[in-house]
Amino acid sequence: MNIITEIFGEGKELNSLQIGTRTIVMYIVALILIRIAGLKTFGKNSSFDNIIIIMLGAVLSRGVVGASPFFGVVISGFVMVIMTRLVSWLSIKNKTFSVLVKGRHKSLFREGAMDKENLNKSLLSEDDLLEGVRLQANTNSLKDVEEAFLETSGDISIVKKKQD
C-alpha cells in the first residue's frame, strides 16, 4: 500500500492516526491561509469576515474527517481566501463596490435627537443605543454625546461632546 495513503487515508474510513496527520497538515494549511488572508479578515470581526471564518472552518474540517477529498478542500480554502483578498482590494479601489459589500454607517443620534428611523432600520432599540453609550463613552446619558453611529462592523461608536 502507498505510504501516503497509509498515513493520510482516503475516503471516510479513517483511523485515529490518519485523522491526526490530516489535522496537523490542515492546521499548517490554516496558518498559511490566515497569513494570506491578512490580519483584517481575522481581526475586524465584521459580519462579512465572520461568515468567511465560519465557512473556511467548515470547509477545512471536511478535509480532516474525510468527508471531502483532502486536496479539493485545501484548494477550496485557498480560493476562499483569494476571493476575500480580491473583495477587500476591490473595496479599497471602488467606493460603490465597498458600500455594496460592507454597507454604510448609520447615524443613530445627532444634534440632541435620536434618529428613530435609522434605529428601526438597524433593528436597534433606544436601550441598545444607551448600552453603546455606556460601553463606548462611559456615561449613562446622551447629554454628553455629540453623535452616535452604527458602524458597518455592527458596533456602535460614540463621538463625545467637546469639553470647554
> Does 11 have pLDDT greater than 90?
no
pLDDT at residue number 115: 95
Mean pLDDT value across the chain: 89
83 is written with which cell numbers? 476571493
How confident is the model over 65-114, as pLDDT tens digits? Answer: 989 988 899 999 999 999 988 988 998 999 999 999 888 999 999 989 99
Pick from 20-24, 47-51, 62-66, 109-113: least confident: 47-51
How confident is the model over 26-36, as pLDDT tens digits? Answer: 999 999 998 88
Q: What would the 3-class secondary structure string for the chain be? A: CCHHHHHHCCCCCCCHHHHHHHHHHHHHHHHHHHHHHCHHHHHCCCHHHHHHHHHHHHHHHHHHHCCCCHHHHHHHHHHHHHHHHHHHHHHHHCHHHHHHHHCCCEEEEECCEECHHHHHHCCCCHHHHHHHHHHHHCCCCHHHEEEEEECCCCCEEEEECCCC
Question: Is residue 81 a contact partner of residue 36, using CB atoms and an 8 Å limit?
Answer: yes
Q: How many residues in the chain?
A: 164
pLDDT at residue number 90: 94
> Does 13 have pLDDT greater than 90?
no
More confident residue, 107 or 9: 107
The Cα–Cα gap between 52 and 80 comes to: 8
Q: Please name which of 30, 46, 41, 39 lies closest in space to residue 78, comparing C-alpha atoms.
A: 30
Domains, the chain: 3-100 (no CATH), 104-160 (3.30.240.20)
> Does 142 have pLDDT greater than 70?
yes
